[in-house]
Amino acid sequence: MGELNPMYKRENLRLLRRALRLTQKEFIDRFLSDEAGKPTMSIATLSNLEAKDGPRMNDVIISVSEQLGIDSMHFSMPSEEFAEKIHILLPDDVSPEALGKLQSKKGSINQLLNRLTMYFAEQMFDKSLKKGDKIESDRVLATKLGVGRSAVREALKVLDVLGMIDIRPGQGTYISGNEANFFVIPLSWSLFMNGNQTESILEVRDLLEVKAAYLAADCVDDRALNRLYDVSHKIHQAYVEQNYKKFLDADLEFHSSIAECSGNTVIYSMLQTISNLMRHVSETGMIDGRQLQEIYEEHQRIYGLILAKDGEGAAEAMEEHMKRSKARYNYR
């Protein structure tokens, strides 16, 4: 999968609506209405989101993803790739009526995805399967796993979108050339499947953030360091302007850029996934300028220690930052 970036959400949302052959009103009726059937968004607002993005974009993406039973991260993939893969994400019959049946399938598909990834991973550990190898047919897999062929095909399509396998029409299905995907993606996927384990996920996040800060102090990747510099500048500007939204957006980028500077792709992938997940289940507790100043000063200390190549100091500063952050957020 190409590099994920939230900037693609606007275009991908429009691509999805058109693939479903829905007008904006029909799209709202299908995905953005309450239990009583009353629209929760106006056509003008949806039109504005498709044209310019906006603060309600994530709410729309989450709602659509949940109802289709797909990963919301797909909307952050490059639009050209999204357009090519969209037929894989959606069923053959893309009518609104057919899509209504997908929600009930989500749990069973998630379980099958987990079984398939573990099945392939075990074969790779045993050296009976390696990157680039052709895997068994959906008929054989269905027999071995005791499920229907259609369910296996749906699960394989998702794994293809995630970059774990490569489906080649007329040739067969192959293990991805990037073998590491099999050991990173299942971990990230499991976090979304078990999103109710908030406390455990936060513990994992804190450990990874501290390690990322420690490793970032040894970063020699100019591109990654330049991104960290740019994000730190964004944070400073938002702090000076007392712009809470810009500050919070830059805060997420700050942690992401530190993970990138760590040079560890597993840490980076896991933290990206956890960040996306926690945005769905958390509500910010930031309510005043004092807290804004606290976070700004904590960030400045971490950033300074990373630039000073002080890994131990950066790790300690990040650990303290994560402890203090827990008091500023409420998780439901």
SS (H, E, C) 224-275: HHHHHHHHHHHHHHHHHHCCHHHHHHHHHHHHHHHHHHCCCHHHHHHHHHHH
- pLDDT-derived band at 206 (thresholds 50, 70, 90) equals very high
Residues 220 and 312 occupy one common structural domain: yes
Residue 123 domain-assigned?
Answer: yes
Residues 204 and 315 occupy one common structural domain: yes
Mean pLDDT of 290-314: 94
Q: Domain range for residue 288?
A: 194-331
Residues 215 and 291 occupy one common structural domain: yes
Mean pLDDT of 116-122: 76
CATH number of the domain within which 124 lies: 1.10.10.10
Estimate to the nearest angstrom the gap between the alpha carbon of 331 and the chain centroid: 19
Residues 213 and 296 occupy one common structural domain: yes
Cβ count within 10 A of residue 146: 7
- pLDDT-derived band at 214 (thresholds 50, 70, 90) equals very high
* CA separation for the pair 174, 140 (Å, rounded): 15
Q: Is residue 261 within 8 Å of 280, Cβ to Cβ?
A: no
Residue by residue, DSSP assigns 11-24 as HHHHHHHHHTT--H
Residues 263 and 157 occupy one common structural domain: no
Residue 186 domain-assigned?
Answer: no
Which residue's structure tokens are 């106006």? 42
- pLDDT-derived band at 177 (thresholds 50, 70, 90) equals confident
Cβ count within 10 A of residue 23: 10
Please report how the helices 265-281 and 181-193 are oriented relative to each other, as an axis angle in degrees rounded to 10. Answer: 10
Q: pTM above the 0.75 mark?
A: no
Residue 282 domain-assigned?
Answer: yes
Assigned token pair, 40: 């929760």
- pLDDT-derived band at 299 (thresholds 50, 70, 90) equals very high
Residues 318 and 214 occupy one common structural domain: yes
Which of 101, 129, 156 is a domain's end point? 101
More confident position, 21 or 141: 141
Residues 69 and 149 occupy one common structural domain: no
